[in-house]
Amino acid sequence: MSDPYEPHPYQGQKAVLATKHQKEIVLGPPLQQAVGLDLYVPENIDTDLLGTFSGEIERHGTPRDVALRKARWGMELTGLSLGLASEGSFGPHPQLLFVPSDHELLAFIDQERGIEIVEQTLSVETNYGHQAAKSVDDLQEFLTQVQFPSHALIVRPHSGFQPDLLFKGISDVPSLRNAVALCSAASADGMAQVETDMRAHVNPMRQRVLNALAAQLGRRLASRCPSCHAPGFGVVDVVKGLPCEQCGLPTQLISEEVFGCAVCTYREQYPRSDGLQVAPAASCSFCNP
């Protein structure tokens, strides 16, 4: 086992964070507190080139692919051996009908140790939404729902993409009124598309989700492998087969979590962390075919 009094290997080390949206403000403190890691943001990195929420630049690859690509890009630009990047996706929750969700991934790379970790979370704490409108007067309920003006908006014509009519980061009523008027006048259907701006620096709800995810990654990095003492010991796989509460047959629900090292092959299995020991009959393919 590692010496509890020995400094963590990331104590005082610097990791490059690939972002142009001020994510260091919410990602930095939890990682500093957990393992003593300092974040550095290069000035010359435009992560929008890998995809934008507003759609003018398409994202290629899975969110995991993009997060790792961002982290490596930052490492190449700076020469640092530690890299960090996040990627978010927004849409309907996979289990909760009509509930929007925020799926966030946070990728960490330690080039020298050969560590590559991607932590993730699915949160319903999001204001994600959109509405078509002819004027600001049509938006009063929507504006309250999405917590405007503390959370910024994006406005564009509702019909057809026009790159010269794409207003981002709107956080005051006069700017919103002007953008809606211009975009509705230019749209074939006379409507403006008003949507939440999900970029981290203008969306406090997303900032809170990212902050919690950084704390989650911090706990993972603080956990050392019992065998080789490398940082990043945590869940690497799951075992399905939680028994049905009614018939006892295995279901598709997770029964055990597999913890593993990010460097060596050491593994340990534990019962699922939420303490659930049986699956509801509704999840059983025999009791509820």
- Domain co-membership, 204 together with 276: no
- CATH (domain of 141): 3.30.1490
In a domain, 247, yes or no: yes
Where residue 102 falls (left for φ over 0; alpha for ψ -120 to 50; beta otherwise) is beta
- Domain co-membership, 47 together with 28: yes
Structural domain of 248:
237-283
- CATH (domain of 94): 3.90.950
User: What does the pLDDT read at residue 260?
Assistant: 97
- Domain co-membership, 181 together with 266: no
Q: Count of CB atoms within 10 A of residue 114's CB?
A: 11
- Domain co-membership, 24 together with 90: yes
The pLDDT-based confidence of 6 (bands split at 50, 70, 90) is confident
pLDDT > 70 in the chain, percent: 98
35-49 per-position pLDDT tens digit: 999 999 998 888 878
Q: What is the mean pLDDT of the chain?
A: 94
pLDDT > 90 in the chain, percent: 86
In a domain, 158, yes or no: yes
Highest mean pLDDT among 56-65, 91-100, 256-265 belongs to 256-265
Q: What span, in angstroms and rounded, lies between the C-alpha atoms of 232 and 31?
A: 13
Task: Look at residue 1 and tell me whether its pLDDT is greater than 50.
Answer: no
Task: Look at residue 24 and tell me whether its pLDDT is greater than 60.
Answer: yes
User: What does the pLDDT read at residue 55?
Assistant: 72
The pLDDT-based confidence of 215 (bands split at 50, 70, 90) is very high
- Domain co-membership, 106 together with 205: yes
Q: What is the rounded average pLDDT of the residues 214-218?
A: 98
In a domain, 66, yes or no: yes
3-state secondary structure of 227: coil
Residues 6+ apart with CB under 8 A from 21: 47, 199, 200, 201
Q: Count of CB atoms within 10 A of residue 163's CB?
A: 7
263-289 per-position pLDDT tens digit: 999 999 999 989 999 999 999 999 987
User: What does the pLDDT read at residue 5?
Assistant: 58
103-119 per-position pLDDT tens digit: 999 999 999 999 999 99
Q: What span, in angstroms and rounded, lies between the C-alpha atoms of 200 and 207?
A: 6
Task: Look at residue 3 and tell me whether its pLDDT is greater than 60.
Answer: no
User: What does the pLDDT read at residue 282?
Assistant: 92
Number of domains in the chain: 3
Contact 193, 158 (CB under 8 A): yes
In a domain, 289, yes or no: no
The pLDDT-based confidence of 51 (bands split at 50, 70, 90) is confident
- Domain co-membership, 83 together with 204: yes
Q: What is the rounded average pLDDT of the residues 8-15?
A: 96
160-208 per-position pLDDT tens digit: 778 789 999 999 999 999 999 999 999 999 999 999 999 999 999 999 9
Task: Look at residue 32 and tell me whether its pLDDT is greater than 60.
Answer: yes
Q: What is the rounded average pLDDT of the residues 243-255?
A: 95
pTM: 0.91
- Domain co-membership, 25 together with 90: yes
- Domain co-membership, 73 together with 215: yes
- Domain co-membership, 74 together with 205: yes
- Domain co-membership, 49 together with 175: no
In a domain, 1, yes or no: no
- The residues with which 227 forms a beta bridge, in sequence order, are none
Q: Count of CB atoms within 10 A of residue 126's CB?
A: 25
- Domain co-membership, 163 together with 276: no
In a domain, 98, yes or no: yes
- Domain co-membership, 74 together with 172: no
Cα-to-chain-centroid distance, residue 222: 20
